[in-house]
Amino acid sequence: MNAGAIIVMQQRRAAERCRELAALDPDSARPLEELRIRKSFAVRSLIRRRVLIDAGGERFWLDEHAWEQVQKSRRFFALAMLTIGILVIAGAILLEGT
């Protein structure tokens, strides 16, 4: 498994843990230890993107709207890369035939 896949997996797990423990607003924020989330590169990235929000005292909650935006961005990027790949292959096939 590559590093990108590991990061995505860790971020999904962090979002799932917040949902499971209902850490979805500042009043229900919890420490990462209670959420059983390590402050890894993947989690720090979610904090920087304001997906996991510090409510003070190192207690975090999941901004579900921001999480959905991150997931939409990833889907768009994957679709764009797939489209580019298909176009490159189609171009190679067309050029080979000439």
**Could you tell me the two tokens for 98?**
């000439």
Please enumerate in sequence order all residues whose Cβ is within 8 A of that of 39, keeping only pairs 6 or more positions apart, or say none. 32
Residues 12-21: b if buried by 16+ CB within 10 A, e if exposed: ebbbebbeee
Could you tell me the residue ranges of all domains in the chain? 3-96
Please check whether residue 49 is in contact with residue 66, taking contact to mean a CB–CB distance below 8 angstroms. yes
- Distance in angstroms (rounded) separating the CA atoms of residues 24 and 59: 11
Tens of pLDDT, residue by residue over 37-80, are 999 999 999 999 999 999 999 999 999 999 999 999 989 999 99
**Could you tell me the two tokens for 55?**
């409510």
Tens of pLDDT, residue by residue over 20-41, are 999 999 999 999 999 999 999 9
